[in-house]
């Protein structure tokens, strides 16, 4: 990108990889076995997910990309660059700050991004990466399933669960995201466009930025005192709040759907799924006071809430109208639930399932009925124990 560099991405990578804690101690043979297991189980999980969800995708099954913590940091910097490109281009086209100010500012931001990624890199079990740098040849996949082997090994040891069952259980959740975004063609672009709108709705004039920073400082103080403050709430504009509500609704849906599928498929292929779910849920809710404070500030507690509310919504809808009725949700952006409907599933059923047709984004009748009839859908965290921030927050399980 020409002009001002808003974030020093190279410094973000070097900072993150320097600060991140090492993973658990494993022998070379154990490491090789974990990587081989995760690649194999990711392919196995995709078959289970496609059969259960009845979402068709023409994309050939691919093994997951298995990385260590520094590898996850590098991958997410690539994703951040893609997601933030509209905002950084807009800022670079504005009046230029003095070179020294721009250089110092980009380095400070680079260190901050790196430190954030170092924190998250110890928590994320896996994620479906929606936003990858464009492939000049056009042959590469538009998304990538990534599993963080050290974190999965650490979690299964800490929980004291069956390693093979836990690895497959994690893969079931992450593969659900891959099936969603490859089987529902419009979903990826919908999420991308909402994120771009959110970024471009930011107030970039100096007085407003100063006021947002003050709000952010107040939010930090509130959380430290045990309050419910959030950096995301503190720095967003009223317009951004409306967009964020739409983003939150769709991410609650896809995360809840992933949680529902991993548990619904689980009993038939993961014998110890009940034990895993019980222990994992306690792990999600635990942590030191500092850990809980950081999670709340970064919106990771919201991610946990998304799992619970989204899964309850999916379970309720499937219980009333079955998988085919639920799959009408993938018809178009018009058939996605609102936050209010996620809290009251019967209202979504009344609007979408019991309605003869809904207009699609281009004004035509929704193809939701056809999609659910043949089992096809039209449809990422990421996921982690704290899960990663919402898009891109993106990431944690």
Lookup: tokens for 224: 């430290």
First to last CA, the chain: 34
Q: How many angstroms separate the most distant Cα atoms in the chain?
A: 62
Is residue 160 classed exposed, middle or buried when 0-12, 13-18 and 19+ CB atoms within 10 A define those classes? exposed
Contact 377/366 with Cβ under 8 angstroms? Answer: no
Q: Which three-class secondary structure state does DSSP give residue 168? A: helix
d(CA 61, CA 178): 10
Contact 83/75 with Cβ under 8 angstroms? Answer: no
Residue-wise pLDDT tens digits, 92-131: 665 555 555 455 678 888 898 899 899 889 989 999 988 8
d(CA 56, CA 322): 17
Task: Look at residue 59 and tell me whether its pLDDT is greater than 50.
Answer: yes
What's the chain's Rg over C-alpha atoms?
A: 21
Residue-wise pLDDT tens digits, 162-221: 999 999 999 999 999 999 999 998 999 999 888 888 877 765 554 554 454 444 444 444
> What's the length of the chain?
397
Task: Look at residue 35 and tell me whether its pLDDT is greater than 50.
Answer: yes
d(CA 109, CA 6): 8
d(CA 355, CA 363): 16
Residue-wise pLDDT tens digits, 272-323: 999 999 999 887 666 555 565 555 555 556 667 777 899 999 999 999 999 9
d(CA 200, CA 190): 15
Phi and psi at residue 134, to the nearest 5°: -60, 140
Residue-wise pLDDT tens digits, 80-91: 888 887 777 776
Contact 92/115 with Cβ under 8 angstroms? Answer: no
Contact 202/237 with Cβ under 8 angstroms? Answer: yes
Q: Give this prediction's pTM.
A: 0.77
Residue-wise pLDDT tens digits, 330-372: 999 999 999 999 999 999 999 999 986 665 544 444 433 333 3
**Angle (CA) 314 320 325, round 5°:** 70
Task: Look at residue 64 and tell me whether its pLDDT is greater than 50.
Answer: yes
Return the closest-CA partner of residue 54 out of 143, 188, 183, 187. 183
Amino acid 125: pLDDT: 95
Contact 20/69 with Cβ under 8 angstroms? Answer: yes
């Amino acid at each position: 990108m020409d002009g001002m560099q808003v974030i020093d991405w190279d410094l973000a990578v070097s900072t993150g990889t320097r600060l991140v804690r090492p993973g658990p101690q494993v022998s070379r043979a154990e490491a090789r076995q974990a990587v081989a297991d995760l690649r194999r189980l990711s392919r196995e999980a995709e078959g289970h997910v496609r059969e259960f969800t009845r979402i068709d995708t023409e994309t050939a099954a691919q093994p997951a990309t298995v990385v260590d913590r520094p590898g996850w940091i590098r991958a997410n910097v690539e994703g951040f660059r893609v997601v933030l490109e509209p905002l950084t281009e807009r800022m670079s086209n504005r009046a230029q700050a003095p070179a020294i100010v721009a250089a110092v500012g980009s380095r400070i931001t680079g260190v901050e991004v790196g430190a954030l990624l170092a924190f998250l890199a110890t928590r994320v079990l896996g994620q479906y990466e929606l936003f990858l740098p464009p492939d000049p040849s056009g042959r590469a996949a538009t998304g990538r399933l990534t599993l963080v082997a050290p974190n999965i090994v650490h979690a299964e040891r800490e929980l004291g669960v069956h390693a093979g069952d836990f690895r497959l259980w994690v893969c079931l959740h992450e593969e659900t995201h891959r099936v969603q975004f490859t089987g529902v063609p419009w979903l990826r672009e919908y999420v991308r466009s909402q994120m771009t709108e959110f970024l471009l709705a930011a107030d970039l004039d100096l007085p407003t930025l100063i006021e947002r920073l003050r709000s952010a400082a107040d939010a930090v103080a509130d959380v430290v005192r045990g309050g419910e403050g959030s950096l995301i709430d503190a720095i967003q504009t009223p317009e951004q709040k409306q967009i964020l509500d739409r983003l939150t609704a769709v991410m609650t849906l896809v995360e809840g759907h992933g949680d529902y599928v991993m548990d619904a498929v689980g009993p038939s292929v993961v014998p110890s799924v009940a034990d895993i779910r019980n222990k994992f849920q306690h792990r999600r809710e635990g942590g030191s006071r500092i850990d809980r404070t950081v999670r709340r500030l970064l919106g990771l507690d919201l991610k946990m809430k998304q799992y619970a509310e989204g899964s309850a919504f999916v379970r309720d809808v499937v219980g009333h109208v079955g998988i085919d009725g639920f799959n009408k949700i993938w018809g178009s952006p018009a058939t996605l639930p609102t936050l209010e409907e996620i809290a009251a599933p019967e209202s979504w059923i009344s609007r979408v399932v019991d309605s003869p047709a809904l207009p699609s984004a281009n004004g035509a009748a929704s193809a939701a009925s056809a999609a659910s009839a043949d089992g096809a859908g039209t449809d990422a965290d990421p996921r982690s124990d704290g899960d990663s921030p919402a898009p891109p927050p993106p990431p944690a399980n």
